[in-house]
Structure 1
């Protein structure tokens, strides 16, 4: 599952059958229609769904934020390697302050 947050209680939810959420889901078109230029990637496993979606969003021209403290994976080395890769060319690495800023709005 993937969601596009529009307004509280009005998320667009798409089903996915692979690690990425963009393919054949409408998830690329809706943010563009809405004028969205930045995305925050969330998920469960850092090196699978999170990484795939961050890469997909980046190559589609979105500015991507990847929060380090709300994800994990089965191996700390995989987690750290993914964070380094994301920071190198696909996403801005954010910490708890990103989530705190969102809750202040």
Structure 2
């Protein structure tokens, strides 16, 4: 997932507006460390680019507090879920979350479902989201689609998202580029944010 592949699927080009954007860092947790660690360099670069452009950075943390919040995930993943309070549920220390940066607690694929994310974004004048993290085809993709449906402009990172296989990663990029999101990578984001200054 390290090589950018957005050019293969890029249909539309647009740059995020730092004044109306937020960066979503999806589920960079110990549970997903084997998938997350290869993209740490690019996701940290993306986070720093956004911080330098005064774009708020928001982290999500997927976890379950009891079987009552498993929903269909319990059936689908045979109850192999991330339980709150476990080491697996914690954000990777290497991701470098700063004190005061918002963490959205979620119990399903979308960072919007059952959380205050939409209210927080709209309350802060945010109309665009840049999506990074894991897993490309599950929580990242579902959050991107949900954001689009809720009226947010979506930018989806090709080199700061990752999943279990390149095939699944690229399938998501194809689908999102077709109807939901503008694709970006670190280089494109750096160039685009630089033009806004």
> Do both share a fold (TM > 0.5)?
yes
Runs of 5+ consecutive residues of structure 2 not aligned to the other structure: 1-24, 28-55, 59-97
Runs of 4+ in 1 over 4 A off after TM superposition: 1-4, 101-105
Provide the rounded CA distance (Å) in 2 between the counterparts of 1:61 and 1:78.
26
Match of 1:90 in 2: 180
Count of residues in Structure 1 that have an aligned counterpart in Structure 2 = 104
The TM-score normalised by the length of structure 1 is 0.84
CA contact (8 A) 2:133 2:162 kept: no
Which has the higher relative contact order, 1 or 2, with Cα contacts under 8 A spaced 6 or more apart?
A: 2
Match of 1:11 in 2: 101
In structure 2, do the counterparts of structure 1 residues 67 and 96 end up closer, same or farther at CA, with 3 Å as the change threshold?
A: same
Larger displacement relative to structure 2 (8-17 or 78-87):
8-17
CA contact (8 A) 1:2 1:16 kept: no
The TM-score normalised by the length of structure 2 is 0.47
* Counterpart secondary structure, 1:29: helix
RMSD between superposed Cα atoms in Å: 2.6
